[in-house]
Amino acid sequence: MRRARWWCVLANPGRALRGKVAIAGVADTAVGVLPGRTPMELCVEAALGAIEDAGLTRADVDGLLTCNAMAQPLMYHAEAMAEYLQIFPRYCLSVGAGGGTTFSIIHHAASAIVTGMADVIVVAMGDSLRSSLTREQATQVQASTGHPQFEQPYGATVPAYYALIAQAHMAEYGTTAEQLAGIAVACRQHAALNPTAQMRDPITVDDVLSSRLIADPLHLLDCSLVSDGGSAIVLCSAERAADLAHDPVYFLGAGEGHSHEHISAARSLTTSAAREAGQRAFAMAGLGPDDMDFAQLYDCFTPTVLVELEDLGFCAKGEGGAFVESGALAPGGSLPVNTHGGLLSHCHPGNPGSMFALTEAVWQLRHAAGDRQVAAARHGLVHAQGGIMSSHTALVLSREAV
């Protein structure tokens, strides 16, 4: 399978962040259906777990970054979380960039550490979309995403917008519903190896295609879960991380790309700003797609993964369907994708969903992922997007500082 080589011709960017910051602690809460657990409680549990995992205490933390919760929104979310945790940070911020929030917030934290704004930063997120929102509230959230003048009046919801992307890819490149379904099957194969995943029962391509049609051509199993859960990490300098409880996982590269806010304004339905995000992240890291031992890709719907695989350079444009059919994404494949099960099978509690891909990447690079461990994993890419394929951030992580 031919892979794009655009990353190797980019000009060498400034690499002030490369290898200077590491992830020293990670923690997830239980996921799925967690009645009686508020988003704040889930966020706090994850934060305390990550601090403990790093071998630190709350007194060591002087930075806190969070994302507001849909089910329990707070005007000053990060500050309220700091108050609840009884930490008193000199760097405190709540960020919202949709599903890409987790990764966009990481390079801000890394910059804060390198510039001396903070020494130890906790990034924590939690929400309880499954237990805390009624069906009517959840439907309203889905329906309110579109442009109020040009999209909402026509009644489309989020699945319909992603169905447009699937239809466009099918029309332009001959992609099939079976190839899209193969993405869901691969994610479930990974989830079956993960005892924390919300959905672990094996599925087949036929199971996906026979599940309820949501927005043509997307079936129920082409769509991500709705979940409760919280997740957190601890970031600090590479030097400090070397003396803590676990082998550091180093931050090597980051890149963002922004193409539109509303799908009706998108320049293309088959090429996204993941391309620019990936180019920038790989260039900063001095690595390329062929160097990645795994990838954690945002999989709110199956066509999202297809476009990301192509735009991030793991296969050529239009070859995503064949790449999936080759078995590359599955356990033991040439590019295991979403080794925890992803949003399709592990969990999706809204904006915090990508946090679980990040903690999974850390476990993979620590070589602590158990039955789902990617053999001899050295480097990994994590990528997420917010909106409707709108705002993209890619990160390159590694066991090696340089």
pLDDT digits (tens, 9 = 90+) for 104-141: 899 999 999 999 999 999 999 999 999 987 777 776 76
Decide if 109 is inside a domain.
yes
- Check residue 136 and give its pLDDT: 76
How confident is residue 142, by pLDDT bands cut at 50, 70 and 90? low
Domain-embedded: residue 331: no
Q: CB-based contacts of 241: which residues, under 8 Å, 6+ apart?
A: 22, 23, 24, 248
Q: What is the domain range of residue 76?
A: 21-133+228-241
CATH number, domain of 32, equals 3.40.47.10
Count the neighbouring beta carbons within 10 Å of the beta carbon of residue 259.
20
Cα 384 from Cα 99, distance rounded (Å):
6
Structural domain contains residue 402? no
Can you tell me the distance from the alpha carbon of 292 to that of 312, in angstroms, rounded to the nearest whole number? 11
pTM over 0.85: yes
Look at residue 352 and give its three-state secondary structure: coil
pLDDT at 137: 73
Alpha-carbon distance of 337 to 9, in angstroms, equals 26
Position 24 scores a pLDDT of 98
Count of structural domains, the chain: 1
Residue 2, pLDDT score: 45
For residue range 154-209, list pLDDT tens digits in order: 888 899 999 999 999 999 999 999 999 999 999 999 999 999 999 999 999 999 99
Q: Give residue-wise pLDDT tens across range 212-235.
A: 999 999 999 999 999 999 999 999
114 domain residue, yes or no = yes
Range of weakest confidence among 11-15, 75-79, 343-347, 368-372: 11-15
Q: Which of 100, 118, 119 is nearest to 350 (CA)?
A: 100
Taking residues 142-147, what's their average pLDDT?
A: 76
Mean residue pLDDT of the chain comes to: 93
User: Is residue 8's pLDDT more than 50?
Assistant: no
In a domain, residue 95? The reply is yes
Asked whether residue 157 is assigned to any structural domain, the reply reads: no
Kindly give the pairing relationship between strand 391-398 and strand 120-128. Answer: unpaired
Top-confidence range, 89-98, 147-156, 370-379? 370-379
Task: Please give the Cα distance from 401 to 319 (Å, whole number).
Answer: 33
Give the whole-angstrom CA distance, residue 355 versus residue 104. 11
pLDDT of residue 12: 47
Q: At residue 71, what is the residue type?
A: A
In contact, 41 and 80? CB cutoff 8 Å: no
Q: Please report the pLDDT score of residue 1 as a whole number.
A: 47
Q: Is the pLDDT of residue 13 over 50?
A: no
Instruction: Look at residue 47 and tell me if it is in a domain.
Output: yes
- Alpha-carbon gap, residue 28 to 47, rounded angstroms: 9
Whether residue 28 lies inside any domain: the answer is yes
Residue 70 has pLDDT above 70, yes or no: yes
Q: What is each CA distance from 253 to 19, 169, 273, 356, 366, in whole angstroms?
A: 8, 29, 17, 19, 18
Quick one: tokens of 26? 């990670």
- Quote the pLDDT of residue 143: 65
pLDDT given at position 16? 78
Burial string for 142-163 (b: 16+ CB within 10 Å, else e) reads eeebbeeeebeeeebbbbbbbb
